Amino acid sequence: MKPDRVSGTVTRLLAGEQAALRCRGVSVERGGQRVVADVDLVVEEGDWVAIVGPNGAGKTSLLHAVAGLLPASGELRVGGLDPGRAPRRQIARLVALMPQRPVVPDGTTVRELVALGRTPHLGRFGTESAADRDAVERTLQRLELTELAERPALGLSGGELQRVVLGRALAQEPRVLLLDEPTSALDIGHQQSVLDLVNAMRLEDELTVVAAMHDLTLAGQYGRRVVLLDEGRVVADASPSEVLRPVRLAEVYGARVEVLRRDAGPAVLPVPADSAPAPGPAPAPDPTPLPPRTLVLGGARSGKSRHAQRLLADCAEVLYVAPGPVPDGSDSDWAARVDSHRRSRPDGWTTLETDDVPAALETATQPVLVDCLATWLAGVMDAAGAWESADGDTTWHEPVGAEVQRLLQAWRSAPVPVVAVSNEVGSGVVPGTRSGVLFRDALGRLNRQVADLSDDVRLVVAGRVQRLEEERA
Amino acid sequence: MALDLAGEERGAAPTARVRALTRLDDRPRMRRTKIALGALVCLGAVLVGCLVGPAGLSVSGVLLELLDAVPGVEVDSGMSLTQQAIFWEIRLPRVVLGVLVGAMLAVAGTAYQGVFRNPLADPYLLGVSSGAALGATLGIVAGGTIGPVGIPLLAFVGGLIGVAATYALGSSVGGGRGAVVIVLAGVAVGAFFNAIQNFVQQRYDDSLLSVYSWMLGRLSTDGWSDVVIALPYVVVSCAVILLHRRVLDVMAVGDVEAASLGVDPARVRLVLVLTATLGTAAVVSVSGLIGFVGIVVPHAVRLLFGAAHHTLLPLALLLGAAFLVLADVVARTALTPAEVPIGVVTALVGAPFFLVVLRRSKGAL
């Protein structure tokens, strides 16, 4: 079959199918390690999808799998072809890759380098037709490279070289253009001009662009969709403003960032470790990217304590506040559970066993984990003898109310990152009994009030974590 | 006025386009000029090779004799029967053999450097030389029973075994690491075969001189038999490599980018290494180990005429042939009536020449 007819067929195939690229459960292994795991991704024709993620997240591997350069398992279709199976020439007519650091052979001129893009279109014996030469000249003109055409490519600046390599990719006349961090070696002006150029070509040629990008702000500006990869998995796949959120970036990148909403798209700013450095000896930098107040809710044995500990896993010193001792007369199962929580905390953490949680929060100099508020509340109610209060009580019974107010005050103004664990319902007491119902209502009220003062509320159900958003009226 | 300006602006793009297309037309012509130049140098070298020697032959005699050989043309060259015999049975076969060996080594060297992206790669890189040397040594040591026909055959087989061992070893431990592992495997196989060859050579030290002279390389004056042995391999091998000229340009950008341009690097490497090796083994079996041609000629051409393989390969072929023919002229005339081993001449002449090219071009390799 002649090249023209093949690409014609492919174009028709693409026209019939909306998606230029379709991944279903795609995994890639490299050196026995899974670098891309179960990726589902559909890219519509003419779209620009930015793939972001920390170093080693699998961005390049995913692109290479799409280009058929790495074997992948799962279902992968580019323009109806399987890049792992179809002949190399056929894939190269459909998909072009713009590498991060292109290899420039010595003695090759700009025109020769661009002409390499015609390789998959050449005849069997590598003869260039007039159409091939014409395509090269057209590309040189479009990218304003005609002046540089006879220059050795080795002597070009970074921006010029990326333009040449883009030219080579365009001379391939692909339907899908893969960019592997195309601008990471460029200054900000050249980054913009190269990406603008890609975008112009995308609009003119109805190209589909899938770009692995390092700069999150640029990714959000040029990508119409952002896919966030972490350890080979898709963590988020949505519009730039949905994906680029501080908490998510903190979690995936371990970075302190602020995200500004702008018309052109979200702008991601790095935030210094201590934005207001105090005079004198600097306080120990706090490495935690955690929002200052986090409430972790969950049922019994849901894994909520473990999740809370993981949130603080990066902090060297944590004050572990364990309300107690366990009230007399409570069931032994509960006592055993509380004990096991205390034993499971990481080494190097300081344990403080106290009923005065508010005081502990006020005086803390290191991140605090309170495990858990339900135990504290039970202790406070126990001490106040509040188990026999009036029916249908919707306010705090004194002196429990005063104690709760102290806690909320300390929670709001804690000078350190604080995480508190609480039971999502009043488990640990027998439902149906009078004291059980009372405790359930009281705990629900406490949780509600603490949650209102928290930056982040998470629900743990059977080891799975969900971040909770406030319901807007 | 405004209209004029607009007209000018509209005219600018087509003008630039025409200019670009004209320049484009120049390109193949320039390439043809270069190749024609190479062909001229090669023919000149052949003529010199035919003319120089103890029995003086005249230019016109040689040219007329060649013309006479064309079917349907009858001219009198004015050469005596002895001169004719010297020309047809001694001079010409040796020159043609020089052309074949020089062309093959230079083209194979270019191909090796291309597929391995290594400027130091030469046709002997993957164990051809040590395998062939071992084969030839065994043949020489065995003596009369194997004789002059057996030695090239054993050298040929030895060379192929050397490369096969290298490739098998390289690809079994390679695990996708490609070129580097194969080159390293070549070093290991070469060392292994050399050790055996040295051992055999030491056990039979009476044949030391013959082995040594084979290793340094020489072109024989035995008539056309060597040419007939080498010719088919050289033609097929050079043709296959020349057909890969575009692919070799693509290989220069690295395996990953080459693959993204629609080329299968591992397959290309296998095909080209096999054909280059086959041709190299064939010429080594008839000429011994002539060093330096496969590495100097491609680099000199690259520095003088550019690295694009569509020009580089034909020029390496032509100039490699010319270089070896001229080196052979020096080898048989420098110490007449004795012959200097041609491998010594290629290195002695080639090294200074190469340094001059390197200095003058001031380019990086």
Print the domain residue range for A255: 3-270
Report yes or no on A282 lying in a domain: no
Alpha-carbon span B95 to B99, nearest angstrom: 6
Dihedral sign, Cα of residue A289, residue A294, residue A300, residue A302: negative
For chain B, the average pLDDT equals 82
Q: How many domains does chain A have?
A: 2
Report yes or no on B23 lying in a domain: no
**B262 to A95: CB separation less than 8 angstroms, yes or no:** no
Bridge partners (DSSP) listed for residue A370:
A321, A420
Q: Are residues A265 and A301 in the same domain?
A: no
ipTM: 0.75
Q: CB–CB of A378/A326 below 8 Å? A: no
How far does the CA of residue B240 sit from the closest CA of chain A (Å)?
10
Give every CB contact of residue A381 below 8 A, 6+ residues apart in sequence.
A387, A400, A439, A442
Q: CB–CB of A63/A51 below 8 Å? A: yes
**Residue appearing with tokens 């603080």:** A312
Report yes or no on B32 lying in a domain: no
Q: Which two tokens stand for residue A369?
A: 């984990």
What is the model's pLDDT at position A290? Answer: 46
pLDDT grade for A31, boundaries at 50, 70 and 90: confident
Q: Are residues A259 and A311 in the same domain?
A: no
Question: pLDDT (tens digit, 9 = 90+) per residue, B184-206?
Answer: 888 899 999 999 998 998 888 88
Q: Between β-strands A350-353 and A319-322, what pairing exists: parallel, antiparallel or unpaired? A: parallel
Residue of B nearest to A134 (CA): B21
CA dihedral B61, B64, B68, B73 (to 10 degrees): -150
Q: CB–CB of B244/A126 below 8 Å? A: yes
Question: Looking at residue B195, what DSSP letter applies?
Answer: H
What is the model's pLDDT at position A341? Answer: 64
What is the model's pLDDT at position A96? Answer: 94
Highest mean pLDDT among A9-13, A146-150, B215-219, B222-226: A146-150
Q: Are residues A218 and A144 in the same domain?
A: yes
Q: CB–CB of B321/B294 below 8 Å? A: no
**For a pLDDT cut of 90, what percent of chain B falls above it?**
24
Task: Tell me whether B245 touches chain A (CB under 8 Å).
Answer: yes
**For a pLDDT cut of 70, what percent of chain A falls above it?**
81
Q: Are residues A256 and A115 in the same domain?
A: yes
Dihedral sign, Cα of residue B51, residue B56, residue B61, residue B66: negative
Burial degree of A91 (CB within 10 A; 0-12, 13-18, 19+): buried
Mean pLDDT for A262-281 is 68
Q: Which two tokens stand for residue B50?
A: 């035919």
What is the model's pLDDT at position A394? Answer: 61
Convert A330-349 to b/e letters by CB count within 10 Å (16 or more is b). eeeebeebbeebeeebeeeb
Stronger pLDDT, A232 or B4, i.e. the higher one: A232
Report yes or no on B270 lying in a domain: yes
**CATH number, domain with residue A447:** 3.40.50.300
Q: Between β-strands A257-260 and A72-78, what pairing exists: parallel, antiparallel or unpaired? A: unpaired
Question: pLDDT (tens digit, 9 = 90+) per residue, B135-187?
Answer: 888 888 887 666 667 788 888 889 889 988 888 888 777 555 567 788 888 88
**Of residues A463, A472, A467, the one with CA closest to residue A295:** A467
Task: Tell me whether B252 touches chain A (CB under 8 Å).
Answer: yes
Stronger pLDDT, A469 or B347, i.e. the higher one: B347
**Of residues A288, A463, A448, the one with CA closest to residue A373:** A448
Q: How many domains does chain B have?
A: 1
Report yes or no on B6 lying in a domain: no
Print the domain residue range for B184: 94-361
Dihedral sign, Cα of residue B74, residue B78, residue B84, residue B87: negative
Chain A CB contacts of B16 under 8 Å are: 141, 146
Bridge partners (DSSP) listed for residue A42:
A22
Residue A162 has pLDDT above 50, yes or no: yes
Dihedral sign, Cα of residue B59, residue B60, residue B63, residue B66: negative
Cα–Cα distance list, A115 to A55, A267, A370, B67, B261 (Å): 32, 38, 65, 44, 11
Q: CB–CB of B189/B164 below 8 Å? A: no
Highest mean pLDDT among A80-84, A393-397, B6-10, B119-123: A80-84
For chain A, the average pLDDT equals 80
Report yes or no on B22 lying in a domain: no
How far does the CA of residue A80 sit from the closest CA of chain B (Å)?
17
Report yes or no on B8 lying in a domain: no
Residue B39 has pLDDT above 90, yes or no: yes
Report yes or no on B56 lying in a domain: no
Report yes or no on A284 lying in a domain: no
Give every CB contact of residue B335 below 8 A, 6+ residues apart in sequence.
none
Dihedral sign, Cα of residue B137, residue B142, residue B143, residue B146: negative
Alpha-carbon span B248 to B313, nearest angstrom: 10
pLDDT grade for A217, boundaries at 50, 70 and 90: very high
Residue B16 has pLDDT above 70, yes or no: no
Give every CB contact of residue A212 below 8 A, 6+ residues apart in sequence.
A50, A51, A52, A59, A60, A62, A63, A179, A180, A181
Question: pLDDT (tens digit, 9 = 90+) per residue, A250-261?
Answer: 888 888 888 888
What is the model's pLDDT at position A168? Answer: 93
Question: pLDDT (tens digit, 9 = 90+) per residue, A371-390?
Answer: 888 888 888 887 777 766 55
Mean pLDDT for B326-336 is 88
Mean pLDDT for A329-337 is 59
Give every CB contact of residue A270 below 8 A, 6+ residues apart in sequence.
A255, A256, A257
Cα–Cα distance list, B247 to A53, A122, A170, A439 (Å): 35, 10, 19, 78
**Residue appearing with tokens 């290991």:** B188
**Three-state SS at B307:** coil
**Residue appearing with tokens 């024609």:** B36
Alpha-carbon span B286 to A261, nearest angstrom: 77
Report yes or no on B24 lying in a domain: no
Q: Between β-strands A19-30 and A176-180, what pairing exists: parallel, antiparallel or unpaired? A: unpaired
Residue B212 has pLDDT above 60, yes or no: yes
Alpha-carbon span A45 to B223, nearest angstrom: 68
Give every CB contact of residue B325 below 8 A, 6+ residues apart in sequence.
B45, B46, B48, B49, B95, B98, B99, B102
Q: Which two tokens stand for residue A271?
A: 């935030």
Q: Which two tokens stand for residue B328?
A: 């052979």
Q: How many CB atoms are closer than 10 A to CB A270?
A: 11
Report yes or no on A277 lying in a domain: no
Name residues 18-47 of chain A within 8 A of B (Cβ).
Answer: none
Report yes or no on A288 lying in a domain: no
**Of residues A412, A437, A309, A327, the one with CA closest to residue A370:** A309
Stronger pLDDT, B235 or A359, i.e. the higher one: B235
Report yes or no on A212 lying in a domain: yes
Q: CB–CB of A242/A236 below 8 Å? A: yes
Q: Are residues A35 and A102 in the same domain?
A: yes
Write the DSSP assignment of B202-256 as a string of letters. Answer: HHTGGGHHHHHHHHH-----STTHHHHHHHHHHHHHHHHHHHTHHHHHHHTT-HH
Chain B CB contacts of A126 under 8 Å are: 243-247
Q: Which of A108, A139, A148 to mutate: most B Cβ within 10 Å?
A: A108
Q: CB–CB of B179/B269 below 8 Å? A: yes
What is the model's pLDDT at position B18? Answer: 46
Q: Between β-strands A208-212 and A319-322, what pairing exists: parallel, antiparallel or unpaired? A: unpaired
| Confidence (pTM) | 0.67
Burial degree of A174 (CB within 10 A; 0-12, 13-18, 19+): buried
Chain A to chain B Cβ contacts (< 8 Å): 88
Nearest to A120 among B261, B363, B364 (CB): B261
Q: Are residues A75 and A177 in the same domain?
A: yes
**A88 to B264: CB separation less than 8 angstroms, yes or no:** yes
Residue A436 has pLDDT above 60, yes or no: yes
Amino acid at B317: L
**CATH number, domain with residue B104:** 1.10.3470.10
**A93 to B260: CB separation less than 8 angstroms, yes or no:** no
Task: Tell me whether B14 touches chain A (CB under 8 Å).
Answer: no
pLDDT grade for A391, boundaries at 50, 70 and 90: low
Q: Are residues A189 and A90 in the same domain?
A: yes
Task: Tell me whether B309 touches chain A (CB under 8 Å).
Answer: no
Mean pLDDT for B306-320 is 91
Q: CB–CB of A312/A293 below 8 Å? A: no
Mean pLDDT for B296-325 is 91
Q: Which of B18, B117, B261 to mutate: most A Cβ within 10 Å?
A: B261
